Amino acid sequence: MKEKPQFIGIDNIKVFDSNIKNITLSADAEFSNPNNVGGTLQTDALKVLVNNREVATFTSKEFKVPSKDKFKIPLTVSIATDSIINKGNLSGLLGSLLSKKLKVQYIGDIKYKIFGYASTYTINKTEDVKIKL
């Protein structure tokens, strides 16, 4: 192994699906692996915030890293709509509904492992995403 895979960034954050009960957010963590060997990547308690409010935490299964290739890890999470609504941020949610945008933030770590070697990528990405009503 020469070097750990390069973390390119979090891309393609969007509302994948929305209805009265749930909002499903999706994003891609993009990497490039220049090595002849793969390894595994895993998200560890990645937090998802909507309008500055933590609404979900998820941990993925291990994802196999391909050798000598660019690749993406899907970061998809379904959130109960009522977890976004509370009395403290009702005005923020109303503003989001009127502007048809949500502020979505992914915060946490993605861990890379190979042959006893481990490395961590710190994720902190915020983006305004459009919602369809």
> How many other C-beta atoms lie within 10 A of the C-beta of residue 43?
22
| pTM of the model as a whole | 0.79
Q: What is the pLDDT of residues 80-131, one digit of tens each?
A: 877 766 555 555 555 555 667 788 999 999 999 888 888 999 999 999 888 7
Burial of 25 (0-12, 13-18, 19+ CB in 10 A): buried
Instruction: Assess whether pLDDT exceeds 80 at residue 70.
Output: yes
Q: What is the pLDDT of residues 6-34, one digit of tens each?
A: 999 999 998 888 777 888 888 999 999 99
